[in-house]
Amino acid sequence: MGQSSVAVIRISGPNSFNIAKKLTGTKKTRTHHEIALLLIKNSEGVSLDRGLFTFFVSPNSYTGEDVVEISCHGNQLVVGIIINRCIKLGARIAEPGEYTKRAFLNNKVSLSQAESVGALISSKSEEAMIQNLKNIEGGSSKTVVSIKNRLVKALSNIEHELDVSEYELFDDGIIKETVKLIENNILECNNLLDSFAAGTAYSSGFRVVIVGRPNVGKSTLMNALVGINKSITSSEPGTTRDVITHEVTLGGLPVTLLDTAGIRETKNEIEAEGVSRATGEIDRASAIISLFCY
C-alpha cells in the first residue's frame, strides 16, 4: 500500500451499512447513491479522519450487494487504522478478484466480462486495454447471445419441418433461412476465434527468441533492436551464457525479445546450461529469429 492524496476503501456485503454507521457513530438510514462527508472514529469515539462516504443499495452496485465506498486521506497509517477498525466491526480483507467474483455470482457481469476485468488490469498495450474494455462492456457477450439466438431459431425451423414433413414437402424458404443462420454462426465463430488469437497476443504479448550458433551476431542484433547495449558483445564465442530479455512495443503489440546462448556442443557446464535454456525458450517462443553466418 502506497502513499497518496486520497485512498478509497470499499466494503461490500449485507453488513456494509451497519459497519459504516459504527465507523462514523451515525444512525441515519442511507439511500442509494447518497454521498456524505463524515468523521471516521475509533472504538473510543475519537475522530481519526474525515472521509467521503458513497452508498450503493443492493442490487444497484458493482457486486450486486450493499456497498459503501470510503474516500479518505491516503496516509498509510490512516488507511491501515480504518481498515483494521472495519475488520474489528465484522469485515475482512477481500481475496484477490473477489469483488468481480461476487459480481459474477450475482449476475452483474458475464464470465467473459469477469475475465476481461483481470485482463484489463494486466494489459501491456493500449490495444489490449481497448479490447478488454469492450469485453467488459459486453462486446463478446452480445456476440455469444446472437449466436445462441440464431442456433435456437435454426433448431426451431428444423423441428418444425420435421413435424410437418409427413404431410407436406419441405418449405424451401425455411430451409434457406436455416442454412443462412448456420452460415452466419460459422462466420461469427471464426471471427471470435480470430479476435481471441489477436486479443491473446495483445494481452500476453509475443516472445521472440533470437537463436543461432555462437558469435553470429545475436547480441548485436538484440542491442540494435532495443536501442541500448542490453547484451554483451565480443569476438569471443560463447559470451552470452544466459537468456537476456527486454520488453518493447512494436505497432502496439507487447514483444519480449530474448537473446540466447549460441547453440553448439560444449563441455563447459555453464555454457551447456545456457544452451539448454536457449532450446527451452525455442519451445516457448511465439516467433524465432535464426541467424546464420555464411
Q: Domain 206-291 carries which CATH code?
A: 3.40.50.300
* pLDDT computed for residue 231 by the predictor: 59
Residue 237: the pLDDT is 54
Strands, E, within 187-278: which ranges?
Answer: 206-212, 244-250, 253-259
Answer whether the bond into residue 96 is a cis peptide, omega within 30°.
Answer: no
Triad 38, 5, 8: Cα angle to 5°: 55
Please identify every stretch of the chain with a pLDDT value under 70, giving residue numbers as ranges. Answer: 1-2, 138, 164-170, 228-242, 266, 271, 294
Whole-number pLDDT of residue 64: 95
pLDDT on residue 157:
87
User: Distance of CA 173 to CAs 134, 170, 182, 213, Å?
Assistant: 36, 9, 14, 65
Fold of the domain built from segment(s) 109-200: Four Helix Bundle (Hemerythrin (Met), subunit A) (1.20.120)
- Within the chain, all domains assigned CATH 3.40.50.300 are found at 206-291
pLDDT at residue 274, rounded to an integer = 74
Q: CA–CA separation, 282 vs 266, rounded Å? A: 19
Nearest Cα residue to 58 out of 3, 93, 11, 127? 11
Task: State which CATH number among 3.90.1150.10, 2.70.70.10, 3.30.1360.120, 3.40.50.720 fits the domain covering 6-102.
Answer: 3.30.1360.120
Q: What is the pLDDT of residue 79?
A: 93
> What residue spans in the chain does CATH classification 1.20.120.430 cover?
109-200
List, by residue range, all CATH 3.30.1360.120 domains of the chain.
6-102
pLDDT at 233: 55
